[in-house]
Amino acid sequence: MKKFSFISDRFLNRLFLVVTITNIITSITLSQQTFKIFSPNNKTRVQIIVDSSIKLSVAYNDTNIFDISNVKIIELNNNAIFENFEFIESKTNYVEKEYHPVIKTKSAVIKEKYNRLILSFKNFNFELRAYNEGIAYRFIGKINKEVLIKNESLNISFPKNTFTYFPEETSMFSHNERLYLFEKIDSMNSGRFCSLPVLMISQKINVLLTESSLQNYAGMWLEKKDKLKFTAVFPKYPQNTKLVSDRDEKVVSTENYIVNTNSLRKFPWRIFAISENDEGLLSNQLVWLLSEKNILDDTKWIKPGKVAWDWWNANNIYNVDFKAGINTKTYKYYIDFAAKFGIEYIILDEGWYKLGDLFDVVPDIDMKELISYAKSKNVGIILWVVWKTLEQQFDKAFEQFEKWGIKGIKVDFMQRDDQWMVNFYEKVAAEAARHKLLVDFHGSYKPAGLYRKYPNVLTSEGVKGLENSKWSNCITPEHDLILPFTRMVAGPMDYTPGAMKNAAKGNFVGIFNAPMSQGTRVHQMAMYVIYESPLQMLCDNPSNYLKEQEVMEFLSPVPVQWDTTKIIQAKISDYIITARKYQENWYLAVMNDWEPRKFYISLNFLDDNKKYKMLIFKDGKNAHRYGSDYIKENNEVTSKSSVDIELAPGGGYVCRIIPIE
C-alpha cells in the first residue's frame, strides 16, 4: 500500500491516499502545516513541517534515523522568491517506471518506484520523493527572474551513537580523493567538513548523503556543526582566480553568493539513500534515477571498454628492442598488446604534448602515424589533457581531436565544483559529444548525474584510487572495501585497478616508477567485476601482462557493462560477494580486507536445467606471504552447485561461468 497523509492546525483529520489518488488543498494559509509520506514498502516515513522553512523527520521501521531542518534557499538580492512560504496546495501520487539505460553500469533495466509529495508555494514548488531505497528532495522555481543565491540551507541531525565514514577535506580546492574515516559523530569537532558522498550509520541503518542533477549550480559539501548536527556548505562563486601552475587554477577571491541563476528552474536533488543492510548500498541507483535524462539523439558511437594505461606503470616495459618512453614505438607496443587481447583503447597520459599547448606534440610522438596504426588494429586512442589548456584552446582543440581521429579525452586537474566549474564540466561533455568523443573526468568531483545526461561521460575519478600506491601505503584492502559502499554509490569510479605486482601484508613499499598493490593478485582481478567503470583501466604495463598471459586471457573478456547484478553478501570495509551477468555469461567475484575468510556460496542464481563450465582464479596457498600467488582451476557446475571459497588476507576470488551448449 502507498500511503500519504496531510495534517494542518486547522484540519486535524488524517487522510491516507492510495496509489495515484491526488490530494489537493487549495489556497490555505496557515502558520504551520504537517504532511507525511511513506516509501512504497512503508518502511520509511517522512514527516514534513512547513512554517518559515521546511523541516523533515525521517523514520525507518518507526525509529527516527535523522532530522533535516531549516531547508530553504536564501537569496542575496532580496527578491524573496524562495523565502516566501505562502502555501497554495499539496499533491501526492505514486510513480512506477522502467528504464533501459544507454550505458548498463549495473543493469540493463532500472526500475523506479516512489511516492511523491509536491508542496506548491506562491513562487516555487518543493518536491519530495520517498523510494524504498531512500528519499530525495529538490526545489523547483516558478518565477522567471535572475537571482543571486547566498546559500541553500540544510541542517541534518542524527541520534546519539551515530557513526560515519567521513571523507574529510581540508580545502574546497581538492581532487576529492579522500580516505573514509570511521568515527562516532558525537566526538567529532565542529568545523570539520567533507565532500560527498558521505555515509552515516544511524540506529544501525545506513544513510548515504549525496546529490544529483547538479547543473548550473555549486556542489554540496557537509560541515560538522553542533554535537549531532551537520550543515550543507557550498563553494562561493569565484570572483578572481590565479593560475599557479599549468594545471592548478586557484580561487583567490569570491563573490558573496554561491549561484547566479534564473529562478525558473529545477534545482539539484538532495539524496539520502537508506538501507538496513550494506548490500542495499551496492544496488542503489538513485543518483542515476534522479539525473537529467539522456539528451543525445545518437549514442550508437559510444563504446565502453577497457584501456591500457601508461602513467601508473611509468612505461616500464621490457624485452623490447627500443628505448621505452613517451614515443611512437612505445605506444605501438601498447596498441599491439591491446589488439592481441581485444582491449578497446590505449591512453596517452601526461607527456604527449608540451604543457600549455595541445597542438605542440612532443617530437618523439608521430600522432598521425600512431592513430593510423591504432585504427588498423581496431584500437582507439584516448588523450590526457589539462583542463585549463583545454579551456584556453577549446574550439580548436576539439576540432583537432576529431580531425586526428582520437576516441576520447581524459580531462584532469579541475579540483573544484563551484558553479563556474560545474558548468565547464557540462560544456566539455556537450562539445565532446558533438565531436563523438568519450570523456573521463580526473581531478574531479564525484559523479552527480552528468553521466546519464551525456552518456559519453563514461567514468570519473573523485576517488582515492590505486594511483596513490605509487607514493603512499594508504590504499589498503580495507580501503578497497569501503569505496563500493560510499564513492561508488554516486556513480562510475575510475579507481584504475590491475596491478600485477602484489604485496602481502607487511611487504608493501611505495615505489613511484615500479608500483605495486596491497593484497593479492586475485584481489585486483576481482575488481574488474566488483568495481563499476564503463571505461576501465588496466594500470600495469603490457610486459607484465604478457609475462602471465592467462591473467589477461581472463580479464580481457570481462565486460564493463552488465545486464544483471546480484549482491550476494557484503559488509562495508570487510568483504563483498557479487555476481553479475552479461548476455549468457555470469561472473562471480569476492574481495576481502586483511582478515582471512571462508565462504560457502550457492550458485542458485544460475539458470535451472543448464550446465556451465567455470574458469576460476583464486588465492594461492602462499598468497598470505607472496601476494602474486594464485591458482587457476576449471570446473563444471549447475544451479544446484555451491562453491567453497577461502580467501587469503587482502584476498580475492573471481570466476567466469559459461553455459555448456
SS3 assignment, position 343 = coil
Which residue type occupies 385?
V
Write a three-state SS string for 82-151: CCCCCEEEEEEEEEEEEECCCCCCCCCCEEEEEEEEEEEECCEEEEEEEECCEEEEEEEECCCCEEEEEE
For the residues 242-246, what does the mean pLDDT come to? 94
SS3 assignment, position 229 = strand
pLDDT at 626: 99
pLDDT at 2: 52
For the residues 250-266, what does the mean pLDDT come to? 98
pLDDT at 78: 73
- Classify residue 342 by its DSSP letter: T
Cα dihedral 520, 521, 522, 528, rounded to 10, equals 120
Exposed / middle / buried, residue 319 (Cβ in 10 Å: 0-12, 13-18, 19+): exposed
Which residue type occupies 415?
Q
- Domain CATH code at residue 244: 2.70.98.10
The beta-carbon contacts of 203-206 under 8 Å, at least 24 apart in sequence, are: 203/60, 203/63, 203/64, 203/65, 203/159, 203/162, 204/276, 205/60, 205/63, 205/65, 205/274, 205/275, 205/276, 206/273, 206/274, 206/275, 206/276, 206/277, 206/278, 206/280, 206/281, 206/485
SS3 assignment, position 541 = coil
- Whose grid coordinates read 598521425? 368
The pLDDT of residue 21 is above 80: no
Cα distance between residue 82 and residue 205, in whole Å: 33
165 neighbors 185 (Cβ within 8 angstroms): no
User: Is 13 within the bounds of a domain?
Assistant: no
Torsion over CA: 346, 352, 357, 362 (sign): negative
394 neighbors 402 (Cβ within 8 angstroms): no
Of 290, 318, 339, the one marking the end of a domain is 290
The pLDDT of residue 214 is above 70: yes
- Whose grid coordinates read 552488465? 562
What is the helix (H) or strand (E) element at residue 396, kind and residue range? Answer: helix 394-404
Cα distance between residue 465 and residue 445, in whole Å: 14
For 541-590, how does the pLDDT look when each residue is reduced to its tens digit (9 = 90+)? 999 999 999 999 999 999 999 999 999 999 999 999 999 999 999 999 99
User: Is 299 within the bounds of a domain?
Assistant: no
Which residue type occupies 74?
I
User: Is 380 within the bounds of a domain?
Assistant: no
Cα distance between residue 384 and residue 625, in whole Å: 37
Cα distance between residue 550 and residue 631, in whole Å: 11
For 491-546, how does the pLDDT look when each residue is reduced to its tens digit (9 = 90+)? 999 999 999 999 999 999 999 999 999 999 999 999 999 999 999 999 999 999 99
Q: How many CB atoms lie within 10 A of CB 364?
A: 15
Q: List alpha helices for 270-366, DSSP H.
A: 279-283, 286-289, 328-341
pLDDT at 27: 32
Mean pLDDT lowest for which of 78-82, 383-387, 466-470, 589-593? 78-82
pLDDT at 79: 73
DSSP strand pairing (535-538 vs 305-308): parallel
User: Is 64 within the bounds of a domain?
Assistant: yes
For the residues 311-318, what does the mean pLDDT come to? 98
Q: How many CB atoms lie within 10 A of CB 471?
A: 11
User: Is 20 within the bounds of a domain?
Assistant: no
pLDDT at 644: 98
SS3 assignment, position 571 = strand
pLDDT at 28: 39
Q: Which band of pLDDT confidence, cut at 50, 70 and 90, is reported for residue 3?
A: low
User: Is 173 within the bounds of a domain?
Assistant: yes
Per the structure, the count of domains in the chain is 2
Catalytic residues, which ones? 412, 467
Which residue type occupies 525?
M
pLDDT at 399: 99
Transcribe 152-170 into DSSP letters.
Answer: EEEEEE--TT-EEEE-EES
Give the sheet arrangement for strand 305-308, strand by strand: 457-460, 438-441, 408-412, 380-386, 345-348, 305-308, 535-538
For 166-178, how does the pLDDT look when each residue is reduced to its tens digit (9 = 90+)? 999 999 999 999 9
| Residue 600: half-sphere exposure toward Cβ, Cα within 13 Å | 1
pLDDT at 31: 66
pLDDT at 77: 80
| Residue 544: half-sphere exposure toward Cβ, Cα within 13 Å | 22
- Domain CATH code at residue 570: 3.20.20.70
Number of DSSP helices (H) and strands (E) in the chain, helices first: 12, 39
For 118-165, how does the pLDDT look when each residue is reduced to its tens digit (9 = 90+)? 999 999 999 999 999 999 999 999 999 999 999 999 999 999 999 999
Cα distance between residue 563 and residue 572, in whole Å: 24
pLDDT at 20: 34
Q: Largest Cα–Cα distance in the chain?
A: 86
Cα distance between residue 335 and residue 374, in whole Å: 6
With a pLDDT cut of 70, the percent of the chain lying above it is 95
Cα distance between residue 45 and residue 61, in whole Å: 8
Of 271, 290, 309, the one marking the end of a domain is 290
Average model confidence (pLDDT) across the chain:
95
Cα distance between residue 522 and residue 618, in whole Å: 6
- For the chain, the first-to-last Cα distance in angstroms comes to 44
Q: Which band of pLDDT confidence, cut at 50, 70 and 90, is reported for residue 489?
A: very high
- Classify residue 466 by its DSSP letter: G
Note down the domain range covering 470. 465-533+542-660
Cα distance between residue 234 and residue 251, in whole Å: 14
pTM of the predicted model, to two decimals? 0.95
φ, ψ dihedrals at 421, nearest 5° = -70, -35
Of 290, 321, 353, the one marking the end of a domain is 290
User: Is 439 within the bounds of a domain?
Assistant: no
For the residues 373-384, what does the mean pLDDT come to? 99
Torsion over CA: 448, 471, 483, 581 (sign): positive
User: Is 428 within the bounds of a domain?
Assistant: no
The pLDDT of residue 8 is above 80: no
